[in-house]
Structure 1
């Protein structure tokens, strides 16, 4: 285990904007930063990061936490691996305590796969560059394809020898677990004819060029393996099967190497294959990624959108390439991307074409042949329809449905321009096309509303509860409890007066009151216990507590979707709104409203007891309670200068 002193060093050095900004494109909004949530699909940013509180929260899906939990959730790291990632980033030396056998046995599968993949990459690269078989068979083939050693090393390419168990032998000798080896897809288990029923492990990628696949931090999450030369019966490519760290629909090959260039150029070039990416990088065109030959997915498009809104898809110019491009259109529009299309001519692909014409000519060709995606679709549909009335009607409907995907407020002008141009090309009335587009929009909204209104089955309800077990939702009546805990966490260690801290003042004021929400009560008691033990609890220290429940509660209590802009001080002359210490007023107001809320509930309960009472003495006592509560209420409202809560 990592020593507590090291953990403290790491948490003191953490810059949450620096770390989260590695994965999410953030823009400053007041005191906080805002971006598109990396944990769910959204068009309008609701993912908020607070540098002062060192926490993040998505007000769309409810995901929240600190820098460490972000890495654990986003990169599938274990707690220890997230700390090690941060330690490496901030050049902090890791000091570890003894690791128990139990801790070793419960290491997450994701961490094991990362370690195995790292070992495998080094093995394959060594086989390619330092063995006679690799150099004569694989390296020669790559060089003949036009790849130099610099680009081969950059992308960490490798080779799996033709021997049936070269990698299996090396992995087992290094004590890698059989279950993890099979899960990784690097090995397969088969029953050879000579084994008399005994299962053996064989290399799955033998005799193939190996392409490591990296996540956005450079960790190897899987591999692609290509046959050398033309494939006969065997598939041309074999890819890692899906597991804890490799989900094909969420991966863009080359994104780790291209992310900075995409951001700098404000454009992402999307191709199909590994070799397309490598050849373009070698030619100096490095803002390029690949979809891996599969249909584009929403998750892949969202990776692009982290860095830019401008996507240029470069596909082969054959019929298959055109169809592949068309499949990604609607999803790209829904994600708000500005999409252009380039088709490579003469039955070439980006890999072969850039080698044929050179880097400069390739760049010029891309710049001169970018086609607007919607207008390209329209052109294809019209050519297919010809004079066929039925097909032309289908084309109108398909174009209208695509245009309906541009349904954000900021897309209105863009959609109207498309409608004008498409109506002219289709030779139909513009108002008719507008009505058809609106119909598709309304139908989609109605469908979504119906889906949201549908009752949830017991099975779905259980699954949802399991997914959201750490997402804490508070009833509006509990706002006062949340407010008291917020001021306790933010100001508790500050002085209330000469003799008491704000925490001590709050403890004293709440002696006769309790929290109705069990989570709020738990957090309050946790804070008080730590305080009375002589510790210094605060939002920051509790944010890195080992208890996930405490961390989640702290985030939900302290982070809000809206922050008071510091520019109010500029707008309101002679009045300081934000740049002033309002902690005492904040505490007093929070406590007063908390008490008023509790007294209101006491009134309601007392009134019910009076109505049910059949004994005069009991009724008289209840009336005394009523007057007593009224007196407290009047005193608090006079201090607040407000009206009694209804």
Structure 2
């Protein structure tokens, strides 16, 4: 168990904008930060982070909360895992008791698999540096590739002994279960050859140098292993199989070490292999990732898009590799990203080129030789078409097909103009071709049967009628969260008797905290929240504001459960989603919201009172219709009094009476 003091230190130290900034490219937006949602596929930023309140809100998915809630949602951490991750990031020593064997067994299956991969990585590293076989074979290979000791340790490179079950036996001796060794693909388990015989266990990566594959947060999901054998029957590279924790189509090799540099430089270099990434990183180009030997996928592109909208694809100098790259470029365009392409001299790849050049030399080459995709495709395809007019026409159509995938209409038009210039063809022809392709895509989409959602989903998809009570209750909670501890001068109306003996309301100035004013007003009218979620949060919030003069949302939210934490972040961040800022630079000075706390609160409470009177009148008239033809005289008098009270409240506050629907 992690001690309470450690948890408190983690919460006090961790900064939500710093932690989320490791996963999402955040940009300043007034007092907050804004970025693309890491939970949905969106192109317009709706993900908000508040450094002041230490909360976040994703308006595209509805999720929100504090820094721990983000890690639990995004990385699927348990609560203790999120605390450990933050403690490691901020170098906080964790005070906890050692897990017993029984506690290990209770760990979730996913976490058990993660623990196994972490152990395997440590074992491979230790074998590489400390065993004779590891130093003679594995370490020698990495040194021959030009990797320094620091680079080898940075990427946690390792070696699996050339033995059938070295890792498997070491893991079992440490108490790790064979079930999870098999599920992660580290161990291959085969049934006994004869009934009653022993189950056979083999290391998948026997005799290979090892490349750990990390998630965006740094957890080891799987491995790539390269054989050093000259046997042509043995696969040169072998990856971990698909599992609950490793999906190769959603992972990019090197993303953990590259993410900060990608966000800082606002560009990502995409290469093909592990050694390409490592060598470029060692040369000082850290914003580089690889697709781990698989064809580029939309999920991998979206992973990059969280950090930047700019990709430069780096290719070997051979023509075959260049031709095969075109599909990946089209996928990048479909995701609305800016893509450039750079190929190295013939016979060179990113690994060999980086080994021969300094950081400055690599950067200069990339800056000089990177082309936009139109130039790249035109050069490549026209070279193949030569003087053949049919092939040239096909090349032009191919380029227009790529342009048609770009979501942004302005970008499409710019690229059409560039293509027309490069290919010496009329813009009108290209625009007509583009329009034909667009119609064809629409027709194909129309022919596909739309998936029918379940009946339950269809019913709930209808928009619910907005509850007036919910609107009022949300507003009260928002005011409490933002200004609950502040003292404000309020105008109270007290009922007094005038010189003619008539009752009238007279104004009186009083200073109260916002929370006191709300509590007393709602108590006076015996108003209770109708929404149970809002009612529970209101009770906890009032209790905290009364007992804690130094109330802070960022401290209070950490004690809330997941649902309440998400609700608090929604209430606070909702107003800032479309907030405009920076008016001062144009000499326009906007009145701050804090200046109208009294008016905002008074109008909200008044609206609640008016709604309460409206409900009482409706209840009485409906009761009269159900039980008897007409209301009793006493009831009619009471309804008349309610209507009169409603009118007086409106008059004193300069309101026009409008019936609630």
TM norm structure 1? 0.85
Matched, 1:430 2:427: yes
1:515 Cα deviation after fit:
3.2
- Between the aligned partners of 1:559 and 1:368, the Cα distance in structure 2 is 44
SS in 2 for 1:616: coil
- Between the aligned partners of 2:548 and 2:355, the Cα distance in structure 1 is 69
Cα deviations by residue, 1:460-507 (Å, 9 ceiling, x for unpaired): 779x99xxxxxx999464322211121233333445687965434433
Q: Is contact 2:484-2:545 (8 Å) kept?
A: no
- Between the aligned partners of 2:415 and 2:585, the Cα distance in structure 1 is 42
Q: Is contact 2:128-2:134 (8 Å) kept?
A: yes
Per the alignment, residue 562 of structure 1 pairs with 577
1:417 Cα deviation after fit:
2.6
Q: Which moved more, 1:189-198 or 1:107-116?
A: 189-198
Instruction: Classify 1:643/1:415 alpha carbon distance in 2 versus 1 (closer, same or farther; 3 Å).
Output: same
Q: Is contact 2:336-2:407 (8 Å) kept?
A: no
How many residues were matched structurally?
Answer: 634
Question: Please, which runs of 5 or more residues in structure 1 have no aligned partner?
Answer: 466-471
Find the structure with the greater CA-based Rg. 2
Q: Is contact 2:488-2:514 (8 Å) kept?
A: yes
Per the alignment, residue 366 of structure 2 pairs with 366
Q: Which moved more, 1:249-258 or 1:303-312?
A: 303-312
- Between the aligned partners of 2:634 and 2:82, the Cα distance in structure 1 is 60
Per the alignment, residue 505 of structure 2 pairs with none
- Between the aligned partners of 1:313 and 1:614, the Cα distance in structure 2 is 80
Q: Is contact 1:221-1:246 (8 Å) kept?
A: yes
Per the alignment, residue 256 of structure 2 pairs with 256
Q: Is contact 1:493-1:538 (8 Å) kept?
A: no
1:557 Cα deviation after fit:
1.9
Per the alignment, residue 40 of structure 1 pairs with 40
Q: Is contact 2:37-2:46 (8 Å) kept?
A: yes
Q: Is contact 2:23-2:307 (8 Å) kept?
A: no
1:67 Cα deviation after fit:
0.6
- Between the aligned partners of 1:3 and 1:494, the Cα distance in structure 2 is 34
- Between the aligned partners of 1:446 and 1:46, the Cα distance in structure 2 is 32
Instruction: Classify 1:373/1:473 alpha carbon distance in 2 versus 1 (closer, same or farther; 3 Å).
Output: farther
- 1:279-358 matches, within 5 Å, as 279-355=279-355
Instruction: Classify 1:459/1:590 alpha carbon distance in 2 versus 1 (closer, same or farther; 3 Å).
Output: closer
1:381 Cα deviation after fit:
4.5
Select 2:518's aligned residue among 506, 529, 550.
506
Instruction: Classify 1:98/1:461 alpha carbon distance in 2 versus 1 (closer, same or farther; 3 Å).
Output: farther
- 1:469-618 matches, within 5 Å, as 475=466, 477=468, 478-495=470-487, 501-511=513-523, 512-527=526-541, 539-560=553-574, 561-562=576-577, 564=579, 577-578=591-592, 580-603=594-617, 606=620, 608-609=622-623, 611-612=625-626, 614-618=628-632
Per the alignment, residue 504 of structure 2 pairs with none
Question: Please, which runs of 5 or more residues in structure 2 have no aligned partner?
Answer: 490-509
Q: Which moved more, 1:545-554 or 1:519-528?
A: 519-528
Instruction: Classify 1:183/1:426 alpha carbon distance in 2 versus 1 (closer, same or farther; 3 Å).
Output: same
TM norm structure 2? 0.83
Cα deviations by residue, 1:84-141 (Å, 9 ceiling, x for unpaired): 2223334444334797998655433343333332322221112112211112222223
Instruction: Classify 1:182/1:628 alpha carbon distance in 2 versus 1 (closer, same or farther; 3 Å).
Output: farther
Q: Is contact 1:565-1:578 (8 Å) kept?
A: no
SS in 2 for 1:559: helix
1:370 Cα deviation after fit:
2.0
Per the alignment, residue 418 of structure 2 pairs with 421
- Between the aligned partners of 2:597 and 2:287, the Cα distance in structure 1 is 49
- Between the aligned partners of 1:229 and 1:244, the Cα distance in structure 2 is 30
SS in 2 for 1:156: coil
Q: Which moved more, 1:524-533 or 1:627-636?
A: 524-533
